[in-house]
Chains A and B, each alone.
Chain A
Amino acid sequence: AQKITQTQPGMFVQEKEAVTLDCTYDTSDPSYGLFWYKQPSSGEMIFLIYQGSYDQQNATEGRYSLNFQKARKSANLVISASQLGDSAMYFCAIGGDYKLSFGAGTTVTVRA
């Protein structure tokens, strides 16, 4: 069984500042992937970033970076230089064998 825990239900961040979204996980699979998705109020799920469990380097995609600490079973998302358009719900997910298990999500509100 796989489990994702996101302990921050909501966060406020000032425009142009960085924000870190916490994610911890639990799994018995030796190989797995960690994903972050963004869900704006319109509802669509937008893939942001992926980290494989055997990847040596932390994943980065533009303003998104994933702080992967395997021993601590954490996969925090860092959004740098926040923009108003970053206001959304963010989900951490863990996947093995294609299926994804999602965390409860964190709502991020970017203030001007």
Chain B
Amino acid sequence: GAVVSQHPSWVICKSGTSVKIECRSLDFQATTMFWYRQFPKQSLMLMATSNEGSKATYEQGVEKDKFLINHASLTLSTLTVTSAHPEDSSFYICSASRRDQPQHFGDGTRLSIL
């Protein structure tokens, strides 16, 4: 069964709207969660590393104020795309990690900004 739940799976919204995506680890406490972005037919690009109780670490080129990450508990991390625009349309996928285990991924969120 799924060990990481991501919600929503599909979002369509107007330009200027802020969108929140949730990532939950269902049956283990994830000290670290990751957020990726993927364009069609391309690889996953790491956006940020989210550690419980501390600020996220963003990869170079990722706007911190555009992509807000909160990791308030060991089972939940959220990604908020603030004031989304059409160029933010993409597939966003999270993963959860714990020591000595491969990363487990959520099912992803397809974000379409009109």
> What residues of chain A have their CB less than 8 Å away from a CB belonging to chain B?
33, 35, 37, 42-47, 50, 89, 91, 95, 98-105, 107
Contacts and interface: CB of A to CB of B under 8 A. Distances in A.
A98 B43 contact: no
B93 A99 contact: no
A47 B42 contact: no
Nearest to B106: A44
B44 A102 contact: yes
Main secondary structure of the interface of B (DSSP, over half): strand
Contacts of B95: 45, 100
Given A98-B32, A99-B49, A43 B44 contact: no
Given A45-B95, A98-B49, 11 more contacts: A44-B105, A44-B106, A45-B108, A46-B105, A47-B102, A91-B43, A95-B103, A98-B32, A100-B103, A104-B43, A105-B41
